[in-house]
Amino acid sequence: MNPIFLPPPPPFSFIPFPPPIPISVPPPPLYCPPPPHLILPTISTGIHWNKPPPGFVKLNTDASYKYNCQRSSIAGVCRDEDGIWMFGFSSRVQSGSSFEAELMAVREALKLAWDKGLRRVILESDSESVVNRIRNQTIRQPKESDGGDHTGMPGLWQPGMELLHPAYSQGRQLRC
C-alpha cells in the first residue's frame, strides 16, 4: 500500500472580527409614573402613650378576633419607666369572642410580668369591658382547650399591680 500524503493546510490567516458597534438603546418608557408626594391628613385623638411613673413598668395589650373561624391573635409589650422595650409577645389563640381574646392577651401579659418578677405594673388595654372585669375582681379565665372551665386567675393579679385604661389617662388611675 502506498501512503497517502495530504497537502499541507493553507497558512493560517487571522481575520479579526469587526469592532463592536455601539448600540444605543433608549430607556424603557415609564409604565408607572412615580406616585405624587402624598400628604395624609392627621387626626388627633388626644390619646397617646405616656411613660409609667418611676419604678413602674407599663403593659400594653391588644387582640383581634375573627368571628367566622373563632381564631384570634393576641399581643402585648412591656416598657420600663424610660419607655425602653423590656419584652413582648404575640400568639394565635382560639377564642369564642373578642372579649375572650382581649382577656387572654391581658392574662398572658400579666403572667409574663409576674414570671419576670415585675410587681409594679400599669396595664393598658383598649377593651373597657376587660378592664372593668379586672377592676371588679370577677375575672373568669377563658376555657382551655381541654374543655374545662378554669375559674379565677390565681397569682396573676396581685396587690401592688396598678391598672390603667386609656380612657382614664387624664390622671385617674385605678390602684388594685
Q: What percentage of the chain exceeds 90 in pLDDT?
A: 20
Domains of the chain, start order: 57-144+151-167 (3.30.420.10)
Report pLDDT digits (tens) over 161-176.
Answer: 665 544 444 333 334 3
**Cα 158 to Cα 35: distance, rounded to the nearest angstrom:** 53
Q: What is the mean pLDDT of residues 20-29?
A: 65
> Residue 14 pLDDT > 50, yes or no?
yes
Report pLDDT digits (tens) over 115-147.
Answer: 898 888 888 888 888 877 777 764 444 444 444
Cβ atoms within 10 Å, residue 19: 6
**Cα 49 to Cα 168: distance, rounded to the nearest angstrom:** 12
Residue 45: band (very low, low, confident or very high) from pLDDT cuts 50, 70, 90: low
